[in-house]
Amino acid sequence: MLGEVYLTARQNRIVSLVLNGIYDLEKVSQHLGVKPEDIMRDITELSNKGLIVIHREVEKKLKITRIGKLYMEKGLPEKIVLSYYNECVDKRIEALTNCLSEKTGLDRDEISIGIQYIVKAKCGKILEGSLILGDPLICQQLLASAKHVEEVLRSIDREVKVSEEELADLRKRKMVEIVEKRVLRISPTPLLQELASKGLIKEKEIVTVVKPSMALELDKYVVKEFDLSIPVPRLPSVRKHPFMEFIDDLRDIMVSLGFEEVKGPHVEAEFWNFDVLYQAQDHPAREIHDTFFVKSDARASISSQLMERARRVHEKGWGYKWSPERAMRLVLRSQTTAVSARAIFERGEGEYRVFTIDRVFRPENLDAKHSMEFYQLDGIIVGKNVNFKHLLYFFKELAAALGIKEVWFKPGYFPFTEPSVEGYIRHPKLGWVEVFPGGVFRPEVMEILGAPGVKAVAWGIGVDRLAMQVLGIDDIRLLFTTDIEALKNMKYLGLPYKFSKTSGRNVGVAEYPQ
Ligand SMILES: N[C@@H](Cc1ccccc1)C(=O)O
């Protein structure tokens, strides 16, 4: 005999949606005006009661890429080139590209792609460096097929099915991509259908605690029974990203060595990134590494007294006309030495040690050893009697704390330090890698920063390279990966003195400098 089944109001609504053929969990949750994850508990309970079945599926969906969206909005580049071709007088590729780009707002790369398609389709050819259109019939065909592609894009956008052939072309041109989506579907069981048809599904308030106030109308409620036999879901244990763990440990080491942590902005004035470091505005040393410039009219504000000091020191030392306008422009900081400089300016004379661990940005081509953004650990030791030996000692001390046995030093060059040093450590696969650049800040730097005559040793350590050594990886991209499998394989055992002998990592103690 089937008995009555009690459901909460929400479970009852879910059940009636499912009985009406709405199986997609996302749609069900939309009907209820909540997020899918909010009804997971109800879904599990309904499934435990044998009323619904949960199906987990992977659905392939088409996604329009950034390029696809651009083409949908502006039209395919070949169409644009053809439609505006007559409006540009100079048909030489360079001039034509500029003209079309100006007229249409499409960037030059896209215009070039348009021209390539026109040539490939034989609607035009390049004669003596100019694009000359040919057979109008062929161009008409090209236009028609471009329009068709745009229509296909719009169909995909409206989630209308398109043919494999049509798709192939769009995928080749990277207008769409296939993304996999995990979807949950639920369907009614025969039991549910039977209960529903006999009107045995009842809605009640389901409570876990009976309060005295309910005593008089107990039949309004159902007290929920706990089913302790249901296995609890096993969640993967959550842990910090190994690279972040390593950075935390680095921070710990710095603090234990008596350093105070400071922070500075990612968007920085050229002034702090270069000028205070005595990197001449007209000198290639300024481009010792490439820099991302911020496309904006915004300018930094810097005290005029400080600017004046920078001007005086630059003009006296380098003999050129220093430009305050240039100094006020904004960049993505290319070195955290900007933060060290700010710290000296704020603290002035006296004795102190500060450090910062943070991201810097440089336009590099991404490969195993280079990334456009990476971490640096910059620090300074400031005081009247600080000297170069303190710097070498610091590097050795840090290496020792990290369990790195070999450090090799050679003289180096940096525009703002003299003397300068480059310290190398040995990576099992990559060989000797430079991770410890540093030096004594030049007197000019200290003068600009308002601490004339004070000594400071400074460094800017490549944290990522250090991490590659410590984490045993040989590709910098892995440090930023979100691929769980790759992350599982990345073992960070912690600092040498933090793990037990049984953990298997065998590190020796670094030798201290004499
Ligand atoms: N900022 C330098 C490193 C450095 C910092 C401080 C002193 C000397 C060198 C770089 O990024 O290459």
Name the pLDDT band for 511 (thresholds 50, 70, 90).
very low
Query: ∠ at Cα 41 (40, 44), nearest 5°?
Result: 85
Q: Are residues 191 and 282 in the same domain?
A: no
Q: Residue 406 domain-assigned?
A: yes
Q: Are residues 122 and 80 in the same domain?
A: yes
Cβ count near 423 (within 10 Å) = 22
Q: Are residues 333 and 397 in the same domain?
A: yes
Total domains in the fold of the chain: 3
Q: How many angstroms separate the alpha carbon of residue 326 from the centre of ligand 1? A: 22
Mean local confidence (pLDDT), 198-202: 93
Q: How many angstroms separate the alpha carbon of residue 51 from the centre of ligand 1? A: 66
State the CATH number of the domain containing residue 335. Answer: 3.30.930.10
Residues 6 or more apart whose CB falls under 8 angstroms from that of 480 comprise 243, 371
Asked whether the predicted pLDDT for residue 499 surpasses 50, the reply is: no
pLDDT, tens digit (0-9, with 9 covering 90-100), for 448-492: 999 999 999 999 999 998 998 888 888 899 898 888 888 888 877
Closest alpha carbon to 468 in 389, 395, 369, 397:
369
Q: Are residues 211 and 329 in the same domain?
A: no
pLDDT, tens digit (0-9, with 9 covering 90-100), for 56-88: 988 888 899 999 999 999 899 999 999 999 999
459 CB less than 6 Å from ligand 1?
Answer: yes
pLDDT score recorded for residue 140: 94
Q: How many angstroms separate the alpha carbon of residue 227 from the centre of ligand 1? A: 62
Q: Distances from the Cα of 84 to the Cαs of 77, 267, 389, in angstroms? A: 11, 39, 67
> What pTM was computed for the model?
0.57
Q: Determine the Cα–Cα distance for residues 282 and 280; give it in Å rounded to an integer.
A: 6
Nearest-CA residue for atom 6 of ligand 1: 459
Q: How many angstroms separate the alpha carbon of residue 389 from the centre of ligand 1? A: 17
Q: Are residues 273 and 388 in the same domain?
A: yes
Q: Residue 335 domain-assigned?
A: yes
Q: Are residues 136 and 212 in the same domain?
A: no
279 CB less than 6 Å from ligand 1?
Answer: no
Q: Residue 229 domain-assigned?
A: no
pLDDT, tens digit (0-9, with 9 covering 90-100), for 9-55: 999 999 999 999 999 999 999 999 999 888 998 999 999 999 999 99
Q: Residue 388 domain-assigned?
A: yes
Strand 201-203 to 5-7 pairing? parallel
334 CB less than 6 Å from ligand 1?
Answer: no
Q: Determine the Cα–Cα distance for residues 75 and 265; give it in Å rounded to an integer.
A: 40
pLDDT score recorded for residue 488: 80
Q: Distances from the Cα of 474 to the Cαs of 213, 367, 368, 494, 506, in angstroms? A: 66, 11, 7, 18, 19
Q: Are residues 357 and 459 in the same domain?
A: yes
Tell me the best of 279, 289, 337, 374 to mutate to test the pocket of ligand 1, counting ligand atoms within 8 Å of each CB and taking the most.
337
335 CB less than 6 Å from ligand 1?
Answer: yes
pLDDT score recorded for residue 512: 40
Give 143-206 as a DSSP string. HHHHHHHHHHHHHHHTT----HHHHHHHHHTTSEEEEEEEEEEEEE-HHHHHHHHTT-EEE-EE
Q: Determine the Cα–Cα distance for residues 191 and 197; give it in Å rounded to an integer.
A: 10
Mean local confidence (pLDDT), 166-170: 88
Name the pLDDT band for 508 (thresholds 50, 70, 90).
very low
Q: Which residues pair with 177 in a beta bridge?
A: 63
pLDDT score recorded for residue 232: 78
State the CATH number of the domain containing residue 197. Answer: 1.10.10.10
Nearest-CA residue for atom 3 of ligand 1: 460
pLDDT, tens digit (0-9, with 9 covering 90-100), for 440-451: 999 999 999 999
Q: Residue 234 domain-assigned?
A: no
pLDDT, tens digit (0-9, with 9 covering 90-100), for 280-324: 998 775 766 788 999 989 999 999 999 999 999 999 999 999 999
Mean local confidence (pLDDT), 503-508: 40
pLDDT score recorded for residue 498: 60
Percent of the chain with pLDDT over 70: 96
- Residue 362 backbone dihedrals phi, psi, to 5 degrees: -145, 140
pLDDT score recorded for residue 501: 40
pLDDT, tens digit (0-9, with 9 covering 90-100), for 361-380: 999 888 888 899 999 999 99
Q: How many angstroms separate the alpha carbon of residue 335 from the centre of ligand 1? A: 7
Asked whether the predicted pLDDT for residue 7 surpasses 70, the reply is: yes
Q: Are residues 258 and 399 in the same domain?
A: yes
Q: Determine the Cα–Cα distance for residues 336 and 412; give it in Å rounded to an integer.
A: 18
Q: Residue 370 domain-assigned?
A: yes
388: tokens are 């170069």
Provide the residue range defining the domain that includes 156.
Answer: 66-174
Asked whether the predicted pLDDT for residue 234 surpasses 80, the reply is: no
Q: Residue 154 in contact with residue 64, Cβ under 8 Å?
A: no
Asked whether the predicted pLDDT for residue 510 surpasses 50, the reply is: no
pLDDT score recorded for residue 399: 92
Nearest-CA residue for atom 11 of ligand 1: 335
Q: What is the mean pLDDT of the chain?
A: 90
Q: Are residues 135 and 198 in the same domain?
A: no
Closest alpha carbon to 459 in 369, 365, 385, 396:
396
Q: How many angstroms separate the alpha carbon of residue 460 from the centre of ligand 1? A: 4
| Amino acid type, 402 | L
Name the pLDDT band for 214 (thresholds 50, 70, 90).
confident
Q: How many angstroms separate the alpha carbon of residue 459 from the centre of ligand 1? A: 5
Q: Which residue has the higher pLDDT, 21 or 222?
A: 21
Ligand 1 atom index nearest CA of 460: 5
Q: Residue 362 in contact with residue 334, Cβ under 8 Å?
A: yes
Q: What is the ipTM of this complex?
A: 0.98
Ligand 1 atom index nearest CA of 437: 9
| Amino acid type, 275 | D
Please report, to the nearest 10 degrees, the dihedral formed by the alpha carbons of residues 239, 243, 249, 255 taken in order: -120
Return the minimum-mean-pLDDT range out of 190-204, 225-239, 325-339, 410-424.
Answer: 225-239
Q: Residue 504 domain-assigned?
A: no
Mean local confidence (pLDDT), 150-178: 90
414 CB less than 6 Å from ligand 1?
Answer: yes
Q: Are residues 367 and 380 in the same domain?
A: yes
Q: Are residues 35 and 83 in the same domain?
A: no
CA 321 to chain centroid, in Å, comes to: 39
Give the 3-state secondary structure of residue 391.
Answer: helix
Q: Are residues 292 and 406 in the same domain?
A: yes
pLDDT score recorded for residue 288: 61
Q: Residue 476 domain-assigned?
A: yes
Mean local confidence (pLDDT), 82-105: 93
State the CATH number of the domain containing residue 144. Answer: 1.10.10
Q: How many angstroms separate the alpha carbon of residue 438 from the centre of ligand 1? A: 6
Mean local confidence (pLDDT), 267-273: 97
Q: Which residues pair with 203 in a beta bridge?
A: 7
